[in-house]
A and B are shown apart, each in its own frame.
Chain A
Amino acid sequence: MKNDIILAGVGGQGILSIAAIIGYASIEQNLFVKQAEVHGMSQRGGEVQSHLRISSGEIASDLIPLGEADLILSLEPMESLRYLPYLSIDGWIITNTTPFINIPNYPGMGELLSQLRSYKNVVVLNTDEIARRIGSPKSSNVVLLGAASKYLKIPYENLENGIRTLFYRKGDNVINKNLEALKAGMEFVSA
């Protein structure tokens, strides 16, 4: 079993938290997990990516080879397209639609969405709006994870446990809000 996931976004959006939740969930399943991050410039409005590799056997490369990623999970729509060379033929793109516009030449949303829809396996959703709707605006990243849960080869319950592990010091309220966020994302995709 293997799951190669590229997490994408702009610095500060919370992709490392998603990686941590998936990481904990995988370890609970006794799977091997390798996670490569990009540091340094990430806080300065630049693009951020993390290669998250899950496997039932030892993992060699820290980087996912081109054409091998099963999933691109992105908190930003334009960023979801930056890593297409890594996506496998049957791979899925799951992305937030809320743009992070900090550059003058950001493409038009119409163009961006139609480009996204031109690919075979795509899920788009406004995770920011869903998070706001359930009263948890900071959990946009967990909503995305919920939407991706059906494409991850990890049981949903393990992701919930991952959330409990990551947020346990922040108290029950925060944990519950994030569990709700996970569910909201999952239900959006199942609807």
Chain B
Amino acid sequence: MVNEVIFNRYLLVEFTLEIISIMEKLLLLGAEAIAQGAIDSGISGIYAYPGTPSTEITEYVQKSTFANERMIHSRWSVNEKTAMEAALGMSYAGKRAMVCMKHVGLNVAADPFINSAITGINGGLIIAVADDPSMHSSQNEQDSRYYGNFALIPILEPSNQQEAYDMTRAGFLLSERYKIPVLIRITTRLAHSRYGVQRKEVLEENKLRLPEDPKQFILLPAIARIRYRSLLDKQTGFSEDSELSGFNRYIDGNDKTIGIIACGISFNYLLENYPNHICEHPIVKIGQYPLPKKIINKLYTTCGELLVLEEGYPFVEESLRGFFDHGKKIHGRLDGTLPRDGELNPTLVAQALGLQIKKGLPVPGIVVNRPPELCNGCSHRDIYEALNEAMISFGEKRVFSDIGCYTLGALPPFNSINSCVDMGASVTMAKGAADAGLVPSVAVIGDSTFTHSGITGLLDAVNEKSNITVIISDNSAIAMTGGQDSSATGKLEQICLGVGVEPEHVRILLPLPKNHDEMVRVLKEELAYSGVSVIISQRECIQTLPKKKKNIKA
């Protein structure tokens, strides 16, 4: 059943391209619109690590016949940092590239990201980030606009699918004009919503062309100071571009008691509340940052009060209030007009404007939650059953875990794990806890998370002979995001041995109910060992397995 879901979604896109192209419009997810925009802008490579809600951008390019004909690089990277760096490398060589990630992925890519703004680029470079307000599938709801601001580069924030396409095109032009990377920021509701998109002409790829200045990419302090000054000098240009940008608009309205600033998708939620989408108050629609001073000033001077609608943190609201918050009233998330956390929707915006809202009927008490659970037959189930039994004599609260399907081990009936913080933290937190004297100290990590950022932590542990037991629950897939290929399938044992884990303490298990007793025995042995143990519990994800079998048959 699940395979049909995946299959049908791609079927929808393929058919869309054939059937709907007759009508000249494609029915695309916001994420797909960015991908199509990038393809049509002549990119030579897309680099990414899967992460909801950004995964579909790269998958679209992977499935695109045209992209494959052009041999656009689109294989998954080991993590967002390697993706960002590789994209920067492609840009160095003069060609256009795009990097994609979810909001927390930008934390991983932050080092090359910030520094790519200082080196500047050669071939156009876009970083497409998908934020997840309300944390539908994330550890937090951080707002990536701060990263754009931090890096001192322009940010583009689409309000609909057509803008997502158009902004990607405009982003490459902006990038090559100022020789800087550009950030495109979307949120879940736009990433995963489908609407009509009109394509435009397809551009040629750039030719291979090395940077003119041989020192441009060398951030030794003496050079970096010059590069940084150059970035600072470009800021005025970015501001002027924002003033002239078609993505920022002043829309007049008669009722000037309140002026509304609507960023990105919140513009839709605002218009939804008015018949024919005509609002009686003046609006400043924001789609490009830095913020356009002139039209915001015009709104401020002509209106009694302001209301700021934005998805994520009160980024704009905060900067308009300033520290002293004198002057006209500015409403938004900080004064309770809108909730401080969580995503916006048309009803919340209506309430903020004092409009009448409809309510529908209450959900009856008999409706209960359906928390996500590990699939029947999942190999994570078997290792958790064994781990729970093995840990009985050792005590609780000492299993550090990570991000993936196996994080569901935190919920009943398993209740096996006690932490999930960021990619790879399981190994290193276990090590830190072991340094503090916690015995045993256990880490449960997936194969993809391990290659993403667990190997470095393991090396730390090996170098110090830390007393940790690392369980790699290897289902040979990046499963939670839809079953993408994992980067070191079949090589995990060699990697652990290569890092220096003692061979007699690298154990392989086949996680199946019938092997339960054997698994418990091995776990107990390694938990008792005072050094680094790695237990690789290997069985393919039951969702990806039938897909692979299908491909082999075909």
**Known A-B contacts A62-B189, A63-B345; A46 and B370 likewise in contact (beta carbons under 8 Å):** yes
Q: For residues 1 through 52 of chain B, which have their beta carbon under 8 Å from a beta carbon of chain A?
A: 1-2, 4-5, 8-9, 11-12, 15, 19-20, 23, 27, 29, 52
Bound state CA distance, A106 and B55, in angstroms?
33
Interface pair B372/A62, CB less than 8 Å apart: no
In the complex, A154 has a CB within 8 A of chain B: no
Bound state CA distance, A32 and B373, in angstroms?
36
Interface pair A84/B362, CB less than 8 Å apart: yes
Please name all residues of chain A whose beta carbon is closer than 8 Å to the beta carbon of B4 when the two chains form the complex.
12, 14, 17, 138
Interface pair B366/A112, CB less than 8 Å apart: yes
Picked from A17, A58, A59, A107, the residue with its CB within 8 Å of the CB of B8 is A17
Interface pair B268/A60, CB less than 8 Å apart: yes
Size category, B interface: 35 or more
In the complex, A153 has a CB within 8 A of chain B: no
Q: For residues 78 through 102 of chain A, which have their beta carbon under 8 Å from a beta carbon of chain B?
A: 78, 81-82, 84-88, 102
Bound state CA distance, A17 and B1, in angstroms?
12
Bound state CA distance, A108 and B56, in angstroms?
39
Interface pair A38/B136, CB less than 8 Å apart: yes
Bound state CA distance, A67 and B374, in angstroms?
34
Interface pair B189/A36, CB less than 8 Å apart: yes
In the complex, A146 has a CB within 8 A of chain B: no
Interchain nearest-CB distance for A165 vs B (Å): 6
Picked from B15, B20, B53, B369, the residue with its CB within 8 Å of the CB of A40 is B53
Interface pair B357/A67, CB less than 8 Å apart: yes
Interface pair A14/B5, CB less than 8 Å apart: yes
Please name all residues of chain B whose beta carbon is closer than 8 Å to the beta carbon of A32 when the two chains form the complex.
195-196
* Closest A residue to B370 using CB positions: A47
In the complex, A16 has a CB within 8 A of chain B: yes
Interface pair B345/A87, CB less than 8 Å apart: no
* Closest B residue to A67 using CB positions: B358
In the complex, A135 has a CB within 8 A of chain B: no
Q: For residues 1 through 52 of chain A, which have their beta carbon under 8 Å from a beta carbon of chain B?
A: 10-14, 16-17, 20, 23-24, 27, 32-47, 51
Bound state CA distance, A105 and B367, in angstroms?
10
Picked from A33, A65, A85, A166, the residue with its CB within 8 Å of the CB of B363 is A85
In the complex, A115 has a CB within 8 A of chain B: yes
Interface pair A82/B358, CB less than 8 Å apart: no
Bound state CA distance, A99 and B106, in angstroms?
41
Interface pair A46/B372, CB less than 8 Å apart: yes
Interface pair B358/A11, CB less than 8 Å apart: no
**Known A-B contacts A60-B271, A63-B346, A88-B358; A81 and B367 likewise in contact (beta carbons under 8 Å):** yes
Please name all residues of chain A whose beta carbon is closer than 8 Å to the beta carbon of B194 when the two chains form the complex.
23, 33-37
Q: For residues 177 through 204 of chain B, which have their beta carbon under 8 Å from a beta carbon of chain A?
A: 189-190, 192-196
B188-228 interface code vs A (CB 8 A; 1 in, 0 out):
01101111100000000000000000000000000000000
Picked from B52, B195, B369, the residue with its CB within 8 Å of the CB of A59 is B195
Interface pair A62/B366, CB less than 8 Å apart: no
B251-283 interface code vs A (CB 8 A; 1 in, 0 out):
000000000000001001101110011000000
In the complex, A61 has a CB within 8 A of chain B: yes
In the complex, B337 has a CB within 8 A of chain A: no
Please name all residues of chain B whose beta carbon is closer than 8 Å to the beta carbon of A86 when the two chains form the complex.
360
Please name all residues of chain A whose beta carbon is closer than 8 Å to the beta carbon of B55 when the two chains form the complex.
39
Please name all residues of chain A whose beta carbon is closer than 8 Å to the beta carbon of B53 when the two chains form the complex.
39-40
Interface pair B366/A61, CB less than 8 Å apart: no
Interface pair B368/A37, CB less than 8 Å apart: no
Please name all residues of chain A whose beta carbon is closer than 8 Å to the beta carbon of B375 when the two chains form the complex.
43-45
Q: For residues 502 through 527 of chain B, which have their beta carbon under 8 Å from a beta carbon of chain A?
A: none
Interface pair B195/A33, CB less than 8 Å apart: yes
In the complex, B371 has a CB within 8 A of chain A: yes
Interchain nearest-CB distance for A154 vs B (Å): 16
In the complex, B455 has a CB within 8 A of chain A: no
Interface pair B367/A78, CB less than 8 Å apart: yes
Interface pair B192/A38, CB less than 8 Å apart: yes
Interface pair B193/A35, CB less than 8 Å apart: yes
Please name all residues of chain B whose beta carbon is closer than 8 Å to the beta carbon of A165 when the two chains form the complex.
15, 19
Interface pair B361/A84, CB less than 8 Å apart: yes
Q: List 9 A-B contacts (CB under 8 A).
A: A17-B4, A27-B23, A33-B196, A35-B194, A36-B194, A40-B53, A61-B269, A107-B366, A112-B366
Pairs A-B, 5 closest by C-beta atoms = A67-B358, A44-B372, A12-B1, A40-B137, A62-B193
Other 6 A-B pairs with CB < 8 A, given A46-B370, A66-B347: A20-B11, A40-B481, A44-B372, A68-B358, A115-B366, A138-B4
